[in-house]
Amino acid sequence: MTVFDPEAAAAFLLESRAARRLIGTLPDGLAPRHEADGVAIQHALALRVGAARPAGFKIGATSARMQEYLGVSAPVGGFMVPAGLHASGASLAFADFQRPGVECELVARLATDLPPGPCDLEQAAAAVGELVCGIEVVEGRYVDVQAVGVPTMVADQMFHAAAVLGVQGDVDWRGLDLVSLAGSISIDGKPAGGGVGGDLLGHPLNSLCWLAASSLAQRFGGLKAGQIVMLGSVVPPLWLVGPCTVYIGFPPLPPVTVRFA
């Protein structure tokens, strides 16, 4: 009987990324059997890239449209590394990414720790210092996104690649109706989709509650002050075909742009 090895699985995923080899079914002994195996692989991957304490986390599949697109029924989280976080206005090399796509997101920056375990909206809101717009850069690393399975998506950081973050400016996010807050994304000036904060598990901060209570947060020792949490996209991934400029906005929050050169 083949013994499951999360360290070897993490090495396989990193090698696949470096070779730009699409991921299908992982080999025997490396394939996660369930979500707990996926979390074990993701944690091993984090240690390999020096992210024992991540810069933050992304949360995917927090909207019905994203769950339908991915063929999943619940959110999936992934850690983020400091080198992958960029300020609005950044210019990124298109060629640095494998089949890149972009997503339109709300992002929380934590002011206080959130320990692993059950969390309600009041606790989540109290832990958030800033709420900003963000663009997540994802990669099409899978042969078939709906066939790869949740455990493997968990292991692979839910196809996360990078993030471009806005600023809060002088907007008091606590005074905003986050459920009806409307966001939109455009590519080279052409509208490409949109949604509202309520698309994200009914309230954007429900995503943070989910993450705090997840086995992923528990494995990483909880959520820490200063970490960034991407709360989910209001649109499915928009796959890019070449260099372009991406803009997202959730007025009155300051918008975010990134140029793929």
Mean pLDDT, range 160-169, rounded to an integer: 96
**Token couple for 131:** 């709420």
Of residues 248, 238, 233, the one with CA closest to residue 186: 248
Q: In whole angstroms, give the CA distance from residue 206 to residue 128.
A: 12
pLDDT at 2 over 80: no
The model's pLDDT over 114-148, given as tens digits with 9 standing for 90+, comes to 999 999 999 999 999 999 999 999 999 988 888 88
Lowest-confidence region among 4-13, 52-61, 139-148 = 139-148
Examine the pLDDT at 1 and tell me if it is beyond 70.
no
238-239 and 100-110 as β-strands: parallel, antiparallel, unpaired?
antiparallel
Q: Is residue 185 a contact partner of residue 102, using CB atoms and an 8 Å limit?
A: yes
Give the global pTM.
0.95
- pLDDT at position 73, please? 87
Q: What is the pLDDT of residue 101?
A: 97
Q: Mean pLDDT across the chain, nearest whole number?
A: 95
Q: What was the pLDDT predicted at 225? A: 98
- Using CA atoms, how far residue 10 sits from 1, 46, 83, 124, 184, in Å, is 20, 9, 19, 31, 35
Query: For residue 146, what pLDDT is reported?
Result: 80
Q: Is the confidence at residue 224, as pLDDT, over 70?
A: yes
Residue 52 CB: number of other CB atoms within 10 A?
Answer: 11
165-209: pLDDT as tens digits:
999 999 999 999 999 999 999 999 999 999 999 999 999 999 999
Q: What is the pLDDT of residues 79-121, one digit of tens each?
A: 999 999 999 999 999 999 999 999 999 999 999 999 999 999 9
Identify the pLDDT of residue 51. 95
Length of the chain: 261
pLDDT at 143: 87
Residue 24 pLDDT exceeds 90: no
Q: What angle do CA 148, 151, 154 make, to 5 degrees?
A: 100
Banded pLDDT at 49 (limits 50, 70, 90): very high
Q: Is the peptide bond before 236 cis (omega within 30 degrees of 0)?
A: no
pLDDT at 36 > cutoff 70: yes
